[in-house]
Amino acid sequence: MNEFDSIIGALAPDSLLRALSRDQLEGLLVKSSRRELSKGDVLINQGDEDGDFAVYLLSGALKISFVSASGREIILNYCAPNELVGEIALLDSGPRTASVSAVVQSEVLLLPTKLFLETVSTNPASVVGVMRELARRVRQLNLVVESDRTFSMGPRLARALVRLIDRNHSDGRLVYSPSQNDLGAFAGLARENVSRLLSEWESQSIIARVGRSLEVRDAEYLELLAEFGDDL
């Protein structure tokens, strides 16, 4: 029993890191650092030149966002535990193109770029895992472009909510309940309209509000809206 057992034991069965051998994993962990984040802590700032680590989320939730040339925030994704983040900058040594911050108390591993790439690239099984993850992200972004271009507000917000549904529970709770502001930055619409839509959906019992957080009551409806857009 060594000091990494608790980390390794806590890795999800489908974790990307699980594809590594025990030795590789320990070799990586010994050079990595573990870090606690409080709500709101910023881990990576858009523009940082320190692309020398990737982030593996152990627990909590992260927000990936950037500020566009026009000054508006765009939220690209919310991350759940066992996801890898920030590996884009690993690959082309430019400045970070997005910021990463904790939206709830979180625990992360900071993996050193070079070692991580070396370890992964010499392990065929984990290579495919990482590539799969990147591919998933490309697909997701394709969907965002689709909805931004061709959907009206309702379906766009529906997609955002569906993406936030916590698949670990069957009630409609979200992995994280963002403010209307953040929901807008995630779905691509103005905060005021988020407010209007949520009110409308609440009155139709499609969603509910418990305290300040949302719950999806009629996921099926939102999923239809998210899939087919306005011509539902």
Quick one: which of 5, 33, 127, 192 contacts its own copies (CB under 8 A)? 127
| Residue 199 lies near DNA (rule: CB under 7 A) | yes
Q: Where in 32-174 does DSSP place strands (E)? A: 33-37, 42-44, 53-59, 62-67, 73-79, 84-85, 99-102, 106-112
Quick one: which of 22, 139, 167, 212 contacts DNA (CB under 7 A)? 212
Spacing of C-alpha 193 from chain mean position: 23
CB proximity list for 33: less than 8 A, separation 6 or greater: 109, 110
- Cα separation, 6 vs 109, whole angstroms: 13
| Residue 211 lies near DNA (rule: CB under 7 A) | yes
* # chain residues binding its own copies, by CB under 8 A: 47
* Residue 147 near residue 48 (C-beta atoms within 8 A): no
Interface with DNA by CB under 7 A: which range of 20-28, 101-109, 129-137, 151-159? 151-159
Partner interacting with residue 211 (select from DNA, its own copies, none; CB below 5-8 Å by kind): DNA
Tokens standing for residue 3: 């000091």
What residue has token string 């900058």?
89
| φ, ψ (nearest 5 deg) of residue 196 | -60, -45
Task: Build a one-symbol-per-residue string for 44-73: x at contacts with DNA by CB under 7 A, - elsewhere.
Answer: ----------------------------x-
Beta bridge partners of 116: none
**Which residues make up the interface to its own copies (CB under 8 A)?**
66, 68-70, 72, 74, 76, 87-88, 90-92, 97-98, 117-118, 120-122, 124-125, 127-128, 130-132, 134-139, 141-142, 144-146, 148-151, 188, 227-231
**Which residues make up the interface to DNA (CB under 7 A)?**
72, 152-154, 179-181, 188-193, 195-196, 198-199, 211-212
